[in-house]
Amino acid sequence: MIVGVVGAGTMGAGIAQACLQSGHEVLLHDVDEAAIERGRSAVAEGLARLVAKGRVSADDLTALLGDLRDAHSLADVTAEAELVMEAALEDLGLKQTIFRALDSAAARDVPLATNTSALSVTEIAASAERYPGRVLGLHFFNPAPVMPLVEVVAAETTDAAALDAGRVFAEGLGKTAVVCRDSPGFIVNRVNRPFTLEALRMVEAGEATVEEIDHAVEAAGYPMGPFRLMDLVGIDINYAVAQALYRAFEEEERFRPSVVQEQMVAAGRLGRKSRGGFYDYADPGGRSSAAALGGSPADPAMDRRELPASDPSLAIEAAEIVSRIELAIINEAYHAAGENVATPPDIDRALKLGANHPRGPFERARELGLRSVIDDLRRLEERHGRRFRVAPALWQVATV
């Protein structure tokens, strides 16, 4: 298959590499010619790492790079592509402009997919005036060649043939495809939001420190604590998604962004990419920290606003830290399932593959017992407010 990739940034280059590794030809397009070259270099570097690991031969590398071609216009993409993947900047107006042009030129049977992580696929599809039914979401996770999950998103207008084509395409890349309804945050970015937001609430309230929370969560079997994860992804990116969900859910309290993140972003402490976030990642010589998951606690001598101090009288134990985060995730999973965003098995699968959780939220709920989950959520609501209000679908299932 010939796959058109529109947008040659980090995600576009990663998707292009995944396509090449699966035997597809790729037409790589970007409005910035220099970006195409950077994207091509990123693909070459990614494939070279596979050569160094013995997973790809030098001859195969040459052949794979030969299947990566530059497309200098959208017309060049639509002239040959049998499926188009858009991975441009997260700007609704820009994406609508791209899809309007793609829809006007591509053959009717060519699926048009967006890799958006936060925008409405339905609003993007609305710009495809000829055949909106062929527009869908294929949300890859970063790094795209490595992460095993793709969320296959059905817009309100997506037809069954396009949705099935997207699922088959994702599975052909060796990914696990989970189908979900077009809803803010899809599955992972929505259901996993409490992983960081509830941790931030604890710091805001002085109940625990960054280090205490990360250590507790990692000891419970999660590969990375919330603050190390935010530093890895980028505090600014995580904050932007939190803001988008807060707006999309009409400022529902459980999605309220954290003032701590706002302050970190204002101070320029964005995580690993700025060499300092909740942790430091550079020594005096400017090298990255040697620590596998990210260095020492953030250095207050750097340009960083002080985090709220932990109050010993409010301190909570490690088990309570983990329980609160997990209960909030379980509750959000039931909210999503009750709104028919995705099925419980697919939500479990998505959280394990897309967020590296040791078990899915419904699996965890069964381990704890639904009655216990509800009782604990009610206690948390009494103490912390409506963000812990029991999801209607959880009430319904528990009382059947």
77-107 exposure pattern, b = at least 16 Cβ within 10 A, e = fewer: bbeebbbbbbbbebeeeebbebbbbbbeebe
What is the model's pLDDT at position 343?
97
CATH number, domain with residue 10:
3.40.50.720
Separation in Å, CA 238 to CA 233, 361, 362: 7, 21, 24
* Bridge partner list, 276: 271, 280
Does 368 map to a domain? no
Is the residue at 266 inside a domain? no
Catalytic residue among 86, 120, 127, 151: 151
Contacts of 299 (CB under 8 A, 6+ apart): 276, 280
Rounded to 5, what percent of the chain is helix, strand, coil?
55, 10, 35
Asked if residue 168 is part of any domain, the answer here is yes
pLDDT of residue 400: 58
Q: What tokens appear for 190 in the block?
A: 């929505």
Q: Which residues touch 323 (CB under 8 Å, ≥6 apart)?
A: 376
Asked if the structure places residue 12 within a domain, the reply is yes
How many structural domains is the chain composed of? 1
Count CA atoms within 13 Å of residue 229 on its CB side.
25
The CA distances from residue 46 to 21, 58, 110, 173, 318, in Å, are 11, 13, 28, 16, 39
Q: Looking at 115, 117, 192, 331, which residue is catalytic?
A: 117
210 close to 307: Cβ distance less than 8 angstroms: yes
Q: 292: closest CA among 232, 250, 346? A: 232
**pLDDT of the chain, 400 residues: tens digit per residue:** 999 999 999 999 999 999 999 999 999 999 999 999 999 999 999 999 999 999 989 889 999 999 999 999 999 999 999 999 999 999 999 999 999 999 999 999 999 999 998 899 999 999 999 999 999 999 999 999 999 999 999 999 999 999 999 999 999 999 999 999 999 999 999 999 999 999 999 999 999 999 999 999 999 999 999 999 999 989 999 999 999 999 999 999 999 999 999 999 999 999 998 989 999 987 544 333 323 334 444 443 334 346 666 666 677 899 999 999 999 999 999 999 999 999 999 999 999 999 999 999 999 999 999 999 999 999 999 999 999 999 999 999 877 5
- On whether the pTM is more than 0.85, the answer is yes
Q: Which residue has the tokens 């796959």?
A: 3
86 part of the active site: no
| Catalytic entry in 189, 238, 258, 331 | 189
In a domain, 241, yes or no: no
Q: How far apart are CA 363 and CA 369, in angstroms?
A: 10
pLDDT (0 to 100) of residue 311? 67
At 76 the pLDDT is 96
Q: Which domain holds residue 16?
A: 2-182
User: Does the annotation count 73 as an active-site position?
Assistant: no
As given in the structure block, the two tokens for residue 322 are 């983990």
Is 151 annotated as catalytic? yes
Task: Tell me what pLDDT residue 295 has.
Answer: 45
Report yes or no on 82 lying in a domain: yes
In a domain, residue 303? The reply is no
**166 in Cβ contact with 113 (< 8 Å):** yes
Give 26's contacts (C-beta < 8 A, 6+ positions apart): 2, 3, 4, 5, 16, 19, 20, 67, 68, 69
356 is known as an active-site residue:
no
Does residue 140 form part of some domain?
yes
Say which of 24, 139, 335, 357 is annotated catalytic.
139
The CA-based angle 17-20-24, given to 5 degrees, is 140
